[in-house]
Amino acid sequence: MDTKRMLTGAAAIVAAGLVVTGCASTAAPADDAAAATDTINAELWYAPSTFDPAKASASSDVEIARLGFDTLLRQGDAEPIVGGLATDWETVSASEYVFTIRDDATCADGTAITPGVVAASFEYLTGLEDSGAVTWKNQAFGSGTPTFTADDAARTVTIDLSEPYSQLLSGVTRPGTGIICPAGLDDPEGLAAGTVAGAWSGPYTLAENVSGVSVAYALRDDYDAWPEWASVDGEPAATINLTVQPDSNTSANLLESGGVDVARFYDSNALRFDTDGFSTVTFASSAYNLVFNQAPGTGSVFEGDEALRAAVGQAIDPQGFNDAGLDGLGVAQYTVNSAGYACALDDPSLVQSYDPAAASAELTGKTIRLLIMTNWDPAADYLAESLRAAGATVEVSALDPAEWTKQMRTAPETWDVAVAAENAESGLIHLSIARYLGPTYPQGGTNVAATDNPEAVALFEAGLSAADTATQCENFEAAQKSILERVDMVPLITDTHRYVARAGFATHVLSGYWDPTAMRIVG
């Protein structure tokens, strides 16, 4: 299975949530080569498609957005959230938030980053119709309409929401909410192309872009707005070179030979570096779920048939899926996204146990249309054969990521069950919950399963309206339990990715998120 394709799909459907609990960071032993360099050589799986953070969608766009543009808040290590461009923040209510902007932050061209600059950047983001921007807007500010009030004298930005949204603090840590400086807002085309020298608000500026091949970033001499991370030691690189490298075997060979200093792995190549001289951090990347189509009048066999949905869960062994698609490196998952998320359920009793004999009583004679992405062949074969072994006839549609997303959202008459790869890096679990509750995509929501579950919708909305985290979790957990009890989806596995650094370099996972600006030279 090509997990890099899975990541593209996850970016397209975007599900993420609350701040992830826990953190990890690690540094390899120093060596003479690292001590003599001020450069980190790393990789991207895809060439960036835009340098505008508001339009970032695929993983490469998101990584470079983090390098070039600072956000109000950041994900931390000792604390789940730490300051970024904001030094203080206050939750007045789930509909009103106040941020105090630091007084020493500047754009790459020397322009001061004032509350007015922050407000203008947010207004640009929320005014775009681009699908990536809409995703970031929803993650940061919820489904309602936000208004931004800047007070440059008091150095505050007040965010008022038309609909309560308790996840805003986590939302404004996301790279797509990076603050774009005035020069970039004045030239959106140049911003997207990376050619506006004054657009950058973060620690790095784009130094070179070889289209489709590589990008290089240079550390700003005047930058001094690093987050207060407790575990991040060493020196930030003066230059970060990012080369497009889609092949995991090649990445492993380059890392072993010193051709790159840091590399990301989704497969067993990572195990080559469980030795002295290398260090590894891990994080959840994608959560793989089966989604049942229950849209009325579409001919789906799963509409109104909870027993049949449960039988699918009984027919499939998640460990078999893990072995087929992820070299056995995934971890168990028992709800809509990773167990590492705050407010995530982690109770195996809420999902179906593997029992193919029981499954056959319901599945024998049924025809099931399975929707999956191309290049997922081993996993697709495993799922299809598991259902066939339980007596079902299975018709598989394997589409490219864009068509897969479009068909799942807008053509429910063409499929019965789909494999979804949910983004598991940002920690915003409410977005994953919303894929099984409320309005469908044609209705302006994100309920891809077309379920009718008003009780769980009420619980979900109560979580979004609650100002305290305990009440948020109480309601979000109850909504997840309802989804699992109704078998509106079946969780399969969470894909664990690994970043490996060679001796003299360090890389960090902060509250579940790998942050490229936290790469360090420790030689």
* pLDDT level of residue 444 (50, 70, 90 thresholds): confident
Say yes or no to pLDDT of 237 above 50.
Answer: yes
pLDDT for residue 25: 44
pLDDT for residue 512: 86
The mean per-residue pLDDT over the stretch 315-319 comes to 96
The pLDDT mean for the chain works out to 91
**In the chain, where the domains are located:** 46-208
The mean per-residue pLDDT over the stretch 319-348 comes to 92
* Better-scored residue on pLDDT, 179 or 139: 179
Q: How many CA atoms lie within 13 A of 386 on its CB side?
A: 24
Say yes or no to pLDDT of 4 above 90.
Answer: no
Say yes or no to pLDDT of 34 above 90.
Answer: no
For 522, phi then psi, to 5°, come to -115, 10
Say yes or no to pLDDT of 1 above 70.
Answer: no
Angle at 77 between CA 504 and CA 17, to 5 degrees: 120
pLDDT for residue 181: 98
Let me know: does 118 contact 176? Beta carbons within 8 Å. no
d(CA 316, CA 387): 7
Question: Which residue type sits at 63?
Answer: E
DSSP 363-432: HTT-EEEEEEETT-HHHHHHHHHHHHHTT-EEEEEEE-HHHHHHHHHH-GGG-SEEEEEEE-SS-BHHHH
Query: Which conformational region is residue 510 in: left (phi greater than 0), alpha (psi within -120 to 50 degrees), or beta?
Result: beta
Q: How many CB atoms lie within 10 A of CB 511?
A: 27
pLDDT for residue 23: 38
Structure tokens at 240: 């970060």
pLDDT for residue 11: 35
The mean per-residue pLDDT over the stretch 495-514 comes to 93
Angle at 313 between CA 381 and CA 476, to 5 degrees: 120
Say yes or no to pLDDT of 333 above 70.
Answer: yes
* Better-scored residue on pLDDT, 11 or 509: 509
d(CA 79, CA 75): 8
**Helix-strand-coil split of the chain, %, nearest 5:** 35, 25, 40
Three-class SS of residue 204? strand
**CATH T-level assignment (fold) for domain 46-208:** D-Maltodextrin-Binding Protein; domain 2 (3.40.190)
pLDDT in tens, 281-298: 999 888 999 999 999 999
pLDDT for residue 31: 56
Say yes or no to pLDDT of 248 above 60.
Answer: yes
pLDDT for residue 33: 56
Q: What percent of the chain has pLDDT over 90?
A: 78
The mean per-residue pLDDT over the stretch 428-434 comes to 92
* Better-scored residue on pLDDT, 72 or 6: 72
